[in-house]
Amino acid sequence: MITYEYPFNERIRTLLRLEDLYEKYTFFLDQEHPLQHHVALATIFEMLEVAGRADLKSELLQELERQRQMLMSFRSNPNVETGVLDNFINEIALTSASLIASPGKTGQPLRENEWLMSVRGRTIIPGGACEFDLPSYYAWQQRPFDARRDDIARWFAPLQPLFTALSLVLRLLRESGRTSQLVATAGSYQQMLQGKTYQMLRLTLLRNLNVIPEISANKYMLWVRFTTQGGDQKPKPYEQDVPFELSLCNF
C-alpha cells in the first residue's frame, strides 16, 4: 500500500514539510561518507528556513495543551483505559515542557554560530561548498565518521524539542481520522464536505495499481483525479475504476 497526504491549510503543510526534512536528516546522519553528512547538514539549513515562522512554537504548544485538556476530559469515561490515557497525557506534558524550555526563536543557537552560517551561505550557491571556497569545511569533512556525526547531532539538538512536538501533533492528527473504503469511478471521485473543517486527508491505495492521485480540496468539496504515467511522458488521466481508502483528519 502507498499513502498520500494532503494538507488543508498552511500550518499543516509546514509541519509535513518539516517532518519530511527530519526523516531525510535522520537517514543521512547515520551514513558514513562525508558527502552524506553534507546532505544531513544542508537539510538542517533547510529546516531553519521552513521553521523560521515565529509563531510555529506557540502554535504547537497551544495544540498540545488543547489535546491534553481534551484527553483529561475522558478520565471520567468508564470505557477508557486509565493507564493508557495517563501515559498519553504524560507524553504530551513532557513534550510541551521540553518545547517551553527551548530558548528563544527556533534554531537561534545555530544562527549564532558564525562558522555554520558561513557554510550555510555557501551551500545555497550551486557548487558553492567546494574545498577552494570553504577549506575549513573541507577539513571538517575529513574528520572521522563518529566525530562528524557527533558534531551534526550537537548542532541539531536545539531543534529536537520542536520536532518531537510536531511529530506528536501529526500522530494525533493522523489517528483522528476515520477510514472509508471508496471507489473512484472512471478514475474520478468527488465528495461534498458541506463546510466542515478538516486539517488533512490521507489517501491509501494498492501500490501495484500504478496510479497517481491529484487532489483538490477546500471546506466545501473534495475532488480526486487519478492519473498514470509511463516512462518520461506527462501523467495522463486514468479512466478505470480505482479502489482506495480515504481518511479525513481533524483534531
Q: Could you give the maximum distance between any two Cα atoms of the chain, in Å? A: 68
Q: What is the pLDDT along the chain (251 residues), one digit of tens a residue?
A: 999 999 999 999 999 999 999 999 999 999 999 999 999 999 999 999 888 776 788 889 999 998 888 888 877 777 777 788 888 889 999 999 998 888 777 888 888 899 999 999 998 888 888 889 899 999 999 999 999 999 999 999 999 999 999 999 999 999 888 899 999 999 999 999 887 889 999 999 999 888 999 999 888 889 999 999 877 778 899 999 999 999 999 87
Question: Per residue in 215-246, pLDDT tens?
Answer: 998 888 899 999 998 777 788 999 999 999 99
What is the residue extent of each domain of the chain? 10-170, 176-249
Question: Per residue in 106-145, pLDDT tens?
Answer: 888 888 899 999 999 998 888 888 889 899 999 999 999 9
Q: List CB contacts of 56: < 8 A, sequence separation 6 or more.
A: 14, 106, 162
Q: List CB contacts of 222: < 8 A, sequence separation 6 or more.
A: 189, 190, 191, 193, 201, 215, 216, 248
What angle do helix axes 82-101 and 56-72 make, rounded to 10 degrees?
160
Q: What pTM was estimated for this model as a whole?
A: 0.89
CATH of domain 176-249: 2.60.440.10
For 26-45, the DSSP string reads HHHHT--SHHHHHHHHHHHH
| Fold classified for 10-170 | YacF-like (1.10.3900)
| 160, 230 Cβ separation under 8 angstroms | no
Which letter, b or e, does each residue of 27-60 get, where b requires 16 or more Cβ atoms within 10 Å of its Cβ? ebbeeeeeeebbebbbbbbbbbebbeeeebbebb
The cell for 81 is 483505559
Which letter, b or e, does each residue of 75-86 get, where b requires 16 or more Cβ atoms within 10 Å of its Cβ? eeeeeeeeeeee
Helix, strand, or coil (residue 210): coil
In whole angstroms, give the CA distance from residue 114 to residue 118.
6
